[in-house]
Copies of this chain bind each other. A is one copy, B any other.
Amino acid sequence: MAAPAVAVDNLNPKVLKCEYAVRGEVVMHAQRLQQQLQTQPGSLPFDEILYCNIGNPQSLGQQPITFFREVLALCDHPCLLEREETKSLFSADAISRATNILASIPGRATGAYSHSQGIKGLRDAIASGITARDGFPANADDIFLTDGASPGVHMMMQLLIRNEKDGIFCPIPQYPLYSASIALHGGALVPYYLDESTGWGLEVSDLKKQLEDARSKGIDVRALVVINPGNPTGQVLAEENQRDIVKFCKNEGLVLLADEVYQENIYVDNKKFNSFKKIARSMGYNEEDLTLVSFQSVSKGYYGECGKRGGYMEITGFSAPVREQIYKVASVNLCSNITGQILASLVMNAPKVGDASYASYKAEKDGILQSLARRAKALEDAFNNLEGITCNKAEGAMYLFPQIRLPRKAIEAAKAAKKAPDAFYALRLLETTGIVVVPGSGFGQVPGTWHIRCTILPQEEKIPAIISHFKAFHESFMAKYRD
């Protein structure tokens, strides 16, 4: 029995309300089954748990980019730079990069708290990377380095949400960090639906309608979240769509919160990544026209360095007094971790033609991205070959979000088991195959439709077996519940 000081019924109700399906019920059940596999091998119809629930590439065997890790090791232990053996152990450009990074840190102290926004020299490198990417200038003063993208999102929600009448526009389906953060800060999630039939595009006329609807209920809609490339939906927005969104945010006075963490994850030739800042600037919109935050992370892309917790937000169009408030909140948390800061500067300023590591870096990067593209296509085709399942093209990000037309009997069985129908399906899939996916209900979906989110991250040699296990499960599930 616990002490009486604290109990569920006297916790902050915002905490109770918050949900995060990516590590929710299905995943916790998977962890129990994994323990069972260890203690009672052979007791389940599979030998391993395959975590397709989360964009965590290195947990499934993806190797880190060598150059990045060389630089991190040298920055962690700068004494290495004074040793002769180091020249044979590390690439020449990793040594010079680490030397330059250390020179940009006051006292070469990677163990010191930095400026609250992050080390100035690293922010300069990131700003150059953004400038090179967009063709429009970026400024180190606009960069706030963060422990992954999530703390930046929380910070913006904290800033904007005053009470339950403050609304944040979110795509549905959405990455549940947004719904969780809005719940924790006590605001209102105002949904706008992505259109599955047009490859998860969005209609500004729909945005307009939803906005008017929210306003008529007294909701002060303060910001619009857009995730591009999409999570969980994997689409890459068309430029025209992006321009519509920018214009809408400008006209309606909404802060545009652009989740651009999958900017390197694009798998189709006919699409490319355009940052919302580039789109806005190319429309002639400047700081005074649009308030924009772009989130980036070291966890995604071809690097997939989730455990390093690096990232940044680039904020533009905020007045000086508001920026002071953002700086103050960042200061309360002192600074983000320096390893993550260094890595964020590296991913935005990777080896270039002529650098000693360039060829091996390029080979590692292309190998990962090409393999991800093949895996995405194989899984997409497999889903589309199954009864009652349709799956949009995986244009980008790390996920597929197939729709599953569940038979009425399956929906009734789910109801009897007190589960959402897609959670029921995901739990049966887990118990039969060891494959962990997240039910669509964790992301939001058009009522009456059911989905799952499945990452494209298992190693390529495992994909055929995953497909065949999935197929066998799905067929037997349909055979059991077919109307």
CB A453 to nearest CB in B, in angstroms, measures 16
User: Is A301 on the interface with B (CB-CB < 8 A)?
Assistant: no
Cβ contact within 8 Å between A20 and B328: yes
Q: Using A61-B109, A337-B339 as known contacts, list a sample of 6 further A-B pairs with CB atoms less than 8 Å apart, ordered by residue number in A.
A: A58-B112, A59-B109, A73-B73, A150-B334, A158-B184, A180-B332
| A111-B64 contact in complex given A5-B222, A80-B89, A184-B332, C-beta closer than 8 Å | yes
- Residues in B neighbouring A110, C-beta threshold 8 A: 307
A365 smallest CB distance to B (angstroms): 15
**Cβ contact within 8 Å between B59 and A333:** no
Which residues of the other chain, B, contact A8 by a CB distance below 8 angstroms? 319, 321-322, 325
Query: With an 8 A cutoff between CB atoms, is A255 at the interface?
Result: yes
Stretch at the interface among A10-18, A384-392, A398-406: A10-18
A393 CB to nearest B CB, Å: 27
Cβ-defined partner of A18 (8 Å) among B5, B109, B329: B329
- Any chain B CB within 8 A of the CB of A107? yes
Mark the stretch among A235-243, A283-291, A417-425, A474-482 that contacts chain B.
A283-291
A160 to B10, CA, bound (A): 8
Chain B residues in 8 Å Cβ range of A7: 319, 321-322
| A336 within 8 A of partner (CB) | yes
A114 at the interface (CB under 8 A from B): yes
Query: Which residues of chain A have a CB within 8 Å of any CB of chain B?
Result: 1-8, 10-16, 18-20, 22-23, 54, 56-61, 64, 66, 69-70, 72-74, 76-77, 79-80, 83, 85-86, 88-89, 106-107, 109-114, 116, 147-148, 150-151, 154, 158-162, 177, 180-181, 184-185, 222-223, 249-250, 253-255, 287-291, 299, 304-309, 317-319, 321-322, 325, 328-329, 331-340
Query: Please, how many angstroms separate the alpha-carbon atoms of A223 and B3 in the complex?
Result: 13
Shortest Cβ distance from residue A28 to the other chain B in the assembled complex, whole angstroms: 9
A sample of 29 cross-chain residue pairs with beta-carbon separation below 8 angstroms, ordered by A number, consists of: A2-B288, A3-B317, A4-B253, A5-B291, A5-B317, A6-B255, A6-B291, A6-B318, A8-B319, A8-B325, A12-B160, A12-B162, A12-B185, A19-B328, A22-B331, A56-B113, A59-B112, A59-B113, A73-B73, A73-B80, A111-B308, A114-B307, A147-B309, A150-B332, A181-B332, A184-B332, A306-B334, A308-B339, A309-B334
Q: Taking A2-B288, A66-B79, A291-B5 as contacts, is the C-beta distance between A58 and B111 under 8 angstroms?
A: yes
A77, B70: Cβ atoms under 8 Å? Answer: yes
Smallest CB-CB separation from A321: which chain B residue? B8
Q: Which residue of B is nearest A54, CB measured? A: B113
Whether A328 and B18, one on each chain, are in contact in the complex, defined by CB atoms closer than 8 angstroms, is yes
Q: Is B309 a contact partner of A2 (Cβ separation < 8 A)?
A: no
Cβ–Cβ contact A83 & B89, under 8 A: yes
CB distance from A119 to the nearest CB of B (A): 9
A111 and B69 CA atoms in complex are apart in Å by: 10
Chain B neighbourhood of A332, CB < 8 A: 18, 20, 150, 177, 180-181, 184
